Amino acid sequence: MKVRQKEIGRPLLIAAAVAVISAVVFLVVEFGPWNRVAAEPPDRAATEAAAQAAGAKVIPTQPKLAVEPNPPGPKPVEPPVVAN
């Protein structure tokens, strides 16, 4: 059973075209100009004014503890020390 070259080439060409188009679309979406980091930080006064207008308060988050508590559960086992 001999398969003609044209029967294999067309699906291969379509698959390659889909792969290339998908890669280009991915690159445009991932690295497009709309994904740039904002050049300036948000205005705190505007944030507070918007929060007050909505009836909310802006309060700072609590700082992390200097010493974090130990997580519950057993401690991980240390590997044995092999002396040479």
Q: Cα angle at 32 between 30 and 33, to 5 degrees?
A: 140
pTM assigned to the model: 0.38
CA 65, chain centre distance (Å): 28
Q: Using one digit for the tens of pLDDT, what is the confidence trace for 31-82?
A: 877 777 766 777 888 888 988 899 988 788 888 777 877 778 887 788 888 8
Tell me, yes or no, whether 11 lies in a domain: yes
Residue 26 lies in a domain: yes
Tell whether 13 is covered by a domain. yes
pLDDT for the residue numbered 57? 80
Across residues 1-24, what is the average pLDDT?
A: 83
What local confidence, expressed as pLDDT, does residue 20 receive? 97
Q: Is residue 69 part of a domain?
A: no
| Spatial distance between the Cα atoms of 78 and 84, rounded to a whole number of angstroms | 18
Q: Which domain holds residue 3?
A: 1-32
